[in-house]
Structure 1
Amino acid sequence: MPPVAQFTLTFGLVAIPVRLLAATSSHRIGFRQIHLQDRGRVRYTKICELDEHELMPEDIVRAYEVGKDRLVPITDDDLDNLPLPTAKTIEVNGFLDLAAIPGEMYDKPYFLAPQNAGANKPYVLMREALARSGKAAVGKYALRGSENLGMIHAQGDVLVLQRLRWPDEVRSADDAAPRQSVEITDEELNGALGLIEALGDVDMQQMHDEYSRAVQELIEAKMEHKAPPRAREPEEEADVTDLMTALQRATEQARAERGEDAEVHHLAGRTPAKKAAAGKKTAAKKATAKKAAAKTSAAGKAATGKSAAGKTAAAKKAAAKKGAAKKSAAGRSGGSGKRAG
């Protein structure tokens, strides 16, 4: 891609010749203005208000109005030859943690690329140093008639120059915050956290500009003299005024769309601490049940042992009785024989 500009990136005593490349493109569809009746194109003619002559682009220069009917012309050469150290240089003034730069300061991104083979080593050195430190280099540079504030950070194998807005261009966010005190319950907060978990992470590669696609389909339908596509009627949804009900329904819908169990039980009733406590209670109940089972088993074994001991004693008693009966019978038999003799 053609470079937007060329600079020398200065990093201490290290100078890196770099090319500034556009990092983004737009798929926005451009339109022309026409006269609806005959479809003639509407053109803008620039006329000098003094002599009323039509002017060509080369006849027009910038001017700064310093008073009534007093204008100071400023040419492109005047701007290009300004005595600024940032005219052809991106000078690093210092470093910041990347996370310390607020998002509202971010403007347009560019890629920085080495201009030649000799710039490769210092380029990689700066890239690796920024990547390992987690910091961004901050400096100024001049581009297209203005001086800009820029932040340079490592992204993969390249250095990215992020144009920043000047700090005094960023408005205070005080007017954006709610003006009244708002109470949020743990139940409501956990309901919102449950919805975030149910929706899951976003795959940025799946995000597309549906509006531009619809406009392109409209243009193609017009070219083929077909009926243009129409928007679907929005589905009527029940008016949900209760915040918890809305969160629970949204969570159930998100889980159903992801193929998960759509039912959400006690969606907002448990914080992580409550879940941990519930887990401890469950573990305690299981431990108690195991102890009870062990006691029952031990008692059963003891009962079984007593039963077996009882049976053994009874058997011994029966055997003793049988032995005594036999001895008695033998004694009687011997006495009868002696008397007969």
Structure 2
Amino acid sequence: MAPRAIWKGHLSIDELSCAVALYSAATTSERVSFHMVNKKTGNRVRREYVDEQTGKPVPREDQVKGYETAKNNYIILEPEEIASATPQGDKTLSIEDFIPCSDVDTAYFDKPYFLTPADDESEEAFVLIREGLRAKKVAAIARAVLFRRVRTVMIRPRGRGLLANTLNFDYEVLPAEKAFEDLPDLKIKGEMLDLAKHIITTKKSEFDPSTFDDRYDAALAELVKAKAEGREIKLAKKEPEGKVIDLMAALRESAKLAKPAAKAGKSAAKTTGEKKRKAS
């Protein structure tokens, strides 16, 4: 089944414009999902909002959003008031800048989407924009009202279409300096650094997402299959906490095993992926 567009509008650069359709480029629909059920009856349970003080259920029409200004003190916002604050867009992705792709820190990447022409008449202008970006090796920065918010979008060529990433706002990305401020300023050199560089060199590879291994999801799929077939479930034993090891000794041992480990890792990832597909 062909994917369904989640947004349609126009992609524009000054006077050049074309109709485009936006599609989700990532999905979690293939993951193992669960419903909450009553353990005693086997029936599904539903979520219900109750008043924190009275314990009584609150009807949907009485449920409103509140902003807490002090403990248990809220400013109530009615649905129509929130709707009036939602920016009104003109369904246009307006390109404002062109930048080198490497200029964007990946910490700002939010969600990926695919962009395609929305109709036959827009194909030529769409291809012109795509090939212009490809020829100059740049990304376009555009803004539009998407999903009730003004979003900044980074657009790059991807095959015969365009890949669009919504970007996090600056205030949403935490400064790295805060996270790293307590780290000591250590200097590594000599044999220790040489061994580390050797291990990295022997494990160099190409980006291949087909080898990525969602072990948790695969384990859940196998668990569901085993229970459905009435097989005995053996719970994994808790692994003992790792003991402190000599860093130099660990590096030397890793250097010996570097090449075989790289090959074994890829094989294991592919095998686990195949097991998951069979279980599903």
Cα 1:109–1:69 shift into 2, 3 Å: closer
Number of the residue aligned with 2:131: 128
Mean Cα displacement is larger for which, 250-259 or 91-100? 250-259
Residue type matched to 1:73 in 2?
E
Which runs of no fewer than 5 residues in structure 2 stay unpaired? 264-280
TM-score, scaled to structure 1: 0.65
Offset of residue 37 of structure 1: 2.7
Q: How many angstroms does 1:24 deviate by?
A: 0.7
Aligned counterpart, 1:118: 121
Aligned pairs for 1:75-224 within 5 A: 75=80, 78=83, 84=88, 86-177=89-180, 179-202=183-206, 203-224=208-229
Q: Please identify which structure carries the higher helix content.
A: 1
Provide the C-alpha distance between the structure 2 equivalents of 1:77 and 1:15, rounded to a whole number of angstroms.
Answer: 32
Please list, as runs of the form range in 1=range in 2, the aligned pairs for 1:17-36 lying within 5 A after superposition. 17-26=19-28, 27-36=30-39
Map of 1:239-250 to 2, 5 A cutoff? 240-241=245-246, 243-250=247-254
TM-score, scaled relative to structure 2: 0.78
Following TM superposition, by how much is the alpha carbon of 1:125 offset from its aligned partner in structure 2, in angstroms? 0.9
Render the CA deviation track for 1:179-205: whole Å, top value 9, x for unaligned: 322011143222111101222315321
Match of 1:71 in 2: 76
Match of 1:2 in 2: 4
What amino acid does structure 1 have at the position aligned with 2:187? E
Secondary structure of the structure 1 residue equivalent to 2:78: strand
Give the counterpart letter for 1:184 in structure 2: I
How far apart, in 2, do the equivalents of 1:98 and 1:161 lie? 12
Deviation at 1:151, TM superposition (A): 0.7
Identity of matched residues, %: 23
Partner of 1:15: 17
Shift of 1:39: 2.7
Q: Does the 8 Å CA contact 1:61/1:74 hold for their aligned counterparts? A: no
Contact map agreement 2:21 2:117 (CA 8 A) in 1: yes
User: Take 1:229 and 1:9, find their aligned partners in 2: how far apart are those partners?
Assistant: 55
Structure 1: segments with no counterpart, 5+ residues: 260-341
Deviations 1:28-69 (A, max 9, x none): 32222223233332222346899x67635xx47754659757
- Note closer, same or farther for the CA distance 1:45–1:235 as it changes in structure 2 (3 Å cut): closer
Give how far 1:145 is off. 2.1
The answer (yes or no) to whether the contact 2:87–2:148 under 8 Å persists in 1 is no
Answer yes or no: is the 8 Å Cα contact 2:156–2:163 preserved in 1.
yes
- CA displacement, residues 219-268 of structure 1 (integer Å, 9 cap, x when unaligned): 11112221125447869988531x33212211211223468xxxxxxxxx
**Corresponding residue SS for 1:255:** helix
RMSD of aligned C-alpha atoms? Answer: 3.2
1:34 maps to a residue whose letter is: V
CA contact (8 A) 2:155 2:165 kept: yes
